[in-house]
Protein backbone atom coordinates (compact mmCIF):
# COMPACT_ATOMS: atom_id res chain seq x y z
CA UNK A 1 0.00 0.00 0.00
CA UNK A 2 1.38 3.41 -0.98
CA UNK A 3 1.95 5.95 1.76
CA UNK A 4 -1.01 8.34 2.07
CA UNK A 5 -0.29 11.97 1.17
CA UNK A 6 -2.61 14.92 1.61
CA UNK A 7 -2.61 18.59 0.73
CA UNK A 8 -1.97 21.37 3.23
CA UNK A 9 -5.67 22.22 2.91
CA UNK A 10 -6.54 18.89 4.55
CA UNK A 11 -7.08 19.76 8.21
CA UNK A 12 -7.38 17.21 11.02
CA UNK A 13 -8.88 18.30 14.34
CA UNK A 14 -7.33 17.10 17.62
CA UNK A 15 -9.75 17.75 20.49
CA UNK A 16 -8.31 17.90 24.01
CA UNK A 17 -9.08 19.28 27.47
CA UNK A 18 -6.81 21.93 29.01
CA UNK A 19 -4.86 19.24 30.87
CA UNK A 20 -4.47 15.51 31.32
CA UNK A 21 -3.71 14.52 27.72
CA UNK A 22 -1.52 11.43 27.35
CA UNK A 23 1.31 13.09 25.43
CA UNK A 24 2.26 10.22 23.09
CA UNK A 25 -1.42 9.75 22.15
CA UNK A 26 -1.38 13.37 20.96
CA UNK A 27 2.09 13.63 19.45
CA UNK A 28 2.25 10.34 17.55
CA UNK A 29 -0.98 10.80 15.50
CA UNK A 30 -0.10 14.51 15.14
CA UNK A 31 3.24 13.61 13.56
CA UNK A 32 1.61 10.99 11.33
CA UNK A 33 -0.95 13.52 10.06
CA UNK A 34 1.68 16.23 9.58
CA UNK A 35 4.13 13.86 7.87
CA UNK A 36 1.36 12.81 5.45
CA UNK A 37 1.03 16.45 4.39
CA UNK A 38 -2.15 17.39 6.26
CA UNK A 39 -2.49 20.16 8.84
CA UNK A 40 -3.14 19.04 12.42
CA UNK A 41 -5.17 21.60 14.43
CA UNK A 42 -5.23 21.58 18.24
CA UNK A 43 -8.71 22.37 19.55
CA UNK A 44 -9.59 22.74 23.23
CA UNK A 45 -12.31 24.13 25.45
CA UNK A 46 -10.15 27.14 26.38
CA UNK A 47 -7.56 29.25 24.52
CA UNK A 48 -3.90 29.30 25.51
CA UNK A 49 -1.88 26.18 26.23
CA UNK A 50 -2.78 22.62 27.22
CA UNK A 51 -0.78 20.41 29.58
CA UNK A 52 0.14 16.93 28.43
CA UNK A 53 1.30 14.10 30.70
CA UNK A 54 3.46 11.01 30.45
CA UNK A 55 1.14 8.78 32.43
CA UNK A 56 0.91 10.68 35.76
CA UNK A 57 3.86 13.05 35.28
CA UNK A 58 3.47 16.49 33.73
CA UNK A 59 5.19 16.63 30.35
CA UNK A 60 5.07 19.29 27.62
CA UNK A 61 2.57 22.05 26.96
CA UNK A 62 1.06 22.70 23.53
CA UNK A 63 -0.51 25.85 22.09
CA UNK A 64 -4.22 25.72 21.29
CA UNK A 65 -5.08 26.66 17.70
CA UNK A 66 -8.85 27.04 18.18
CA UNK A 67 -11.59 26.83 20.80
CA UNK A 68 -14.19 24.11 20.22
CA UNK A 69 -17.09 26.58 20.34
CA UNK A 70 -15.58 28.47 17.39
CA UNK A 71 -14.99 25.58 14.97
CA UNK A 72 -17.16 23.75 12.45
CA UNK A 73 -17.12 20.02 11.68
CA UNK A 74 -17.14 20.65 7.93
CA UNK A 75 -13.77 22.42 8.13
CA UNK A 76 -11.96 19.18 9.09
CA UNK A 77 -11.30 15.92 7.26
CA UNK A 78 -11.06 13.91 10.50
CA UNK A 79 -11.15 14.15 14.29
CA UNK A 80 -8.59 12.63 16.66
CA UNK A 81 -9.41 12.11 20.34
CA UNK A 82 -6.24 11.45 22.36
CA UNK A 83 -6.55 9.64 25.66
CA UNK A 84 -5.20 10.12 29.13
CA UNK A 85 -7.63 9.51 31.99
CA UNK A 86 -8.20 13.16 32.95
CA UNK A 87 -8.44 14.49 29.39
CA UNK A 88 -11.66 12.81 28.16
CA UNK A 89 -13.13 12.85 31.68
CA UNK A 90 -12.93 16.66 31.65
CA UNK A 91 -14.02 16.97 28.01
CA UNK A 92 -17.15 14.91 28.55
CA UNK A 93 -18.37 17.57 31.01
CA UNK A 94 -18.29 20.24 28.28
CA UNK A 95 -21.48 20.06 26.22
CA UNK A 96 -19.94 22.01 23.34
CA UNK A 97 -17.13 19.46 23.05
CA UNK A 98 -19.59 16.55 23.31
CA UNK A 99 -21.81 18.10 20.62
CA UNK A 100 -18.78 18.58 18.35
CA UNK A 101 -17.90 14.89 18.70
CA UNK A 102 -21.52 13.81 18.16
CA UNK A 103 -21.81 15.98 15.04
CA UNK A 104 -18.45 14.75 13.74
CA UNK A 105 -19.52 11.11 14.03
CA UNK A 106 -22.86 11.93 12.35
CA UNK A 107 -21.00 13.63 9.49
CA UNK A 108 -19.44 10.32 8.45
CA UNK A 109 -15.95 11.77 8.59
CA UNK A 110 -13.32 9.65 10.41
CA UNK A 111 -13.21 9.86 14.20
CA UNK A 112 -10.22 8.21 15.86
CA UNK A 113 -10.22 7.63 19.64
CA UNK A 114 -7.49 5.92 21.64
CA UNK A 115 -7.42 4.54 25.17
CA UNK A 116 -9.67 6.50 27.58
CA UNK A 117 -10.86 8.82 24.77
CA UNK A 118 -13.68 6.32 24.18
CA UNK A 119 -15.45 8.17 27.01
CA UNK A 120 -16.16 10.99 24.54
CA UNK A 121 -17.93 8.54 22.23
CA UNK A 122 -19.85 7.12 25.20
CA UNK A 123 -20.89 10.61 26.31
CA UNK A 124 -21.83 11.61 22.74
CA UNK A 125 -24.11 8.52 22.63
CA UNK A 126 -22.72 7.30 19.30
CA UNK A 127 -21.69 3.74 20.17
CA UNK A 128 -25.00 1.90 19.84
CA UNK A 129 -24.42 -1.21 17.68
CA UNK A 130 -20.83 -0.12 16.91
CA UNK A 131 -17.74 -2.28 17.49
CA UNK A 132 -14.85 -0.49 19.24
CA UNK A 133 -11.92 -1.00 21.56
CA UNK A 134 -10.40 1.07 24.38
CA UNK A 135 -8.42 0.73 27.55
CA UNK A 136 -9.82 -2.55 28.97
CA UNK A 137 -11.29 -1.00 32.12
CA UNK A 138 -13.79 0.91 29.94
CA UNK A 139 -15.40 -2.10 28.27
CA UNK A 140 -18.40 -1.98 30.64
CA UNK A 141 -18.93 1.70 29.77
CA UNK A 142 -18.88 0.78 26.08
CA UNK A 143 -21.37 -2.06 26.57
CA UNK A 144 -23.65 0.14 28.70
CA UNK A 145 -23.63 2.66 25.84
CA UNK A 146 -24.82 -0.07 23.44
CA UNK A 147 -21.45 -0.75 21.83
CA UNK A 148 -19.56 -4.00 21.31
CA UNK A 149 -16.10 -3.99 22.92
CA UNK A 150 -13.29 -6.02 21.34
CA UNK A 151 -9.76 -6.56 22.65
CA UNK A 152 -7.65 -5.68 19.58
CA UNK A 153 -4.90 -3.19 18.76
CA UNK A 154 -7.20 -1.33 16.38
CA UNK A 155 -10.89 -1.71 15.59
CA UNK A 156 -12.64 0.06 12.72
CA UNK A 157 -16.39 0.35 12.34
CA UNK A 158 -17.53 2.62 9.50
CA UNK A 159 -16.00 6.03 10.36
CA UNK A 160 -14.76 5.05 13.86
CA UNK A 161 -11.13 4.05 14.48
CA UNK A 162 -10.33 2.96 18.03
CA UNK A 163 -7.29 1.58 19.84
CA UNK A 164 -6.47 0.45 23.37
CA UNK A 165 -3.18 2.05 24.40
CA UNK A 166 0.06 3.73 23.29
CA UNK A 167 1.55 0.41 22.11
CA UNK A 168 -1.23 0.36 19.48
CA UNK A 169 -0.29 3.73 17.96
CA UNK A 170 1.32 2.37 14.75
CA UNK A 171 -1.92 0.54 13.83
CA UNK A 172 -4.07 3.45 15.04
CA UNK A 173 -2.15 5.98 12.93
CA UNK A 174 -2.20 3.71 9.86
CA UNK A 175 -5.98 3.23 10.05
CA UNK A 176 -6.62 6.93 10.72
CA UNK A 177 -4.60 7.98 7.67
CA UNK A 178 -6.22 5.35 5.46
CA UNK A 179 -9.68 6.83 6.18
CA UNK A 180 -8.96 10.50 5.56
CA UNK A 181 -10.19 11.77 2.23
CA UNK A 182 -7.68 14.43 1.23
- CB–CB of 80/49 below 8 Å? no
Q: Which of these is catalytic: 17, 79, 98, 115?
A: 115
Whether residue 116 lies in the annotated active site: yes
Residues 6+ apart with CB under 8 A from 43: 13, 14, 15, 16, 64, 65, 66, 67, 68, 71, 100
What is the Cα–Cα distance from 155 to 134, expressed in whole angstroms? 9
Q: Which of these is catalytic: 116, 130, 164, 165?
A: 116
Whether residue 115 lies in the annotated active site: yes
What is the Cα–Cα distance from 68 to 145, expressed in whole angstroms? 24
DSSP class of residue 93?
Answer: T
User: Which residues are catalytically annotated?
Assistant: 115-116
Amino acid sequence: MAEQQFTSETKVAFLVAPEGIEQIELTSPWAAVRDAGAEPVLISTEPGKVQAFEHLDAADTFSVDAVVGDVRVEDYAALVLPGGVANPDALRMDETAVAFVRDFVASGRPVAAICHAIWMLVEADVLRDREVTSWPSLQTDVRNAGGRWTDAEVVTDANLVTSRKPDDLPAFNRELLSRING
